[in-house]
Structure 1
Amino acid sequence: MSRGYLEDLQVYAIRRELGVQYFKFFSDIETVPWWDVEELHDRHLWDYIKQQAKARFPDWKPQFPKQIVTIFESGDKDITLDIKPSRCLKNMPLRAMEQDFYEEFQGWLYNESTAEPVISLFD
């Protein structure tokens, strides 16, 4: 799991298995499950998180899931963990893209077949 602070966008980013989550405020990182928070350690800001994880989170509490226990007639137990969704940003912040990198640049087009942006140039 990669993580860091993007100064130009002013967001915290955490790359996960299924994509990237962006958090506007540091306190929003508390809304991720505790096992994800324990994996976040690196440099200054992330050292604080690592220190909190080692000390069992004395200053702030990440989400600990509720256990829902179902007991079947056979006596077997089924334990389900109920986790609330994280408070991450719904829309990804975008960096400003340079528009005058080539003198024949006309604009950007959207290619529906590949779902990618395409550069349009003057003939």
Structure 2
Amino acid sequence: MPKERKFRRPLHYFTHNADLSLGDILSWGYLEDLQVYAIRREQDVQYFDFLSDIKTLPWWDVEELVQTKNIKQFYHGLDVKQHDQHLWNYIKLQAKNRFPDWKPQYPKQDIKIDPVTKEKDITLNIKPPRCLKNMPLRAMEQDFYEDF
């Protein structure tokens, strides 16, 4: 099991409200028959066309993704492009060194100061990741029964 990393996230990402968060990353991998990358979370599954679309995730999700076990180890066949294998190794190296060159999404801080109490109210604005809007479907077998 990966170690606990929730302390790095904004507080509303702890909740199980689907409007605010999809939850922790449980597993991820490349689905050969659908030709997509899938990230399984507590509340949902996110599908990405390209490995480079992971860059649109918040930085704490990319760090968690690097530490989470892949459902199939990445070196498994010709269906995964060689470029993606090199890119994944680069992403792992960048996450290990705190992203010096390859920059995932860092949230913007909106700071509002209450004029009466002079307290700061910090809101983190995060753009939604560039994932597929519709779930890809597997091809259904057509000739499964001869009398049908």
What interval of TM-score do these two structures reach, taking the shorter chain for normalisation? 0.7 to 0.9
Q: Higher helix proportion, which one?
A: 2
The Cα shift of 1:22 comes to 0.6
Give the drift of 1:103. 4.4
Report the equivalent of 1:56.
Answer: 98
Taking the aligned partners of 2:64 and 2:147, their CA distance within structure 1 comes to 47
Matched, 1:81 2:116: no
Shift of residue 18, structure 1, vs aligned partner: 2.3
Show the counterpart of 1:16.
Answer: 41
> How far apart, CA to CA, are the structure 1 residues paired with 2:29 and 2:93?
17
Return the letter of the residue paired with 1:28: D
The structure that is strand-richer by fraction is 1
Contact 1:40 1:50 in 2 (8 A): no
Normalization by structure 1: what TM-score?
A: 0.74
Aligned with 2:134 (options 78, 87, 91): 91
- The SS at the match of 2:61 is helix
Q: Distance in 2 between matches of 1:71 and 1:104?
A: 73
Measure, in 2, the Cα distance between the counterparts of 1:14 and 1:48: 19
Q: Is the 8 A contact 1:28 1:87 kept in 2?
A: yes
Aligned residues: percent identity? 73
Higher RCO (C-alpha 8 Å, min separation 6): 2
The alignment yields a C-alpha RMSD, in angstroms, of: 1.9
Q: Within 5 Å, which residues of 2 pair with 1:31-50?
A: 31-41=56-66, 42=69, 43-44=73-74, 45=85, 48-50=90-92
- Structure 2 gaps of 5+ residues are 1-24, 75-84
Q: Alpha-carbon deviation of 1:20?
A: 0.7
Tell me the CA shift for residue 71 of structure 1: 0.9
TM-score (norm 2): 0.63
Q: Is 1:30 equivalent to 2:55 in the alignment?
A: yes
Q: Which has the larger radius of gyration?
A: 1
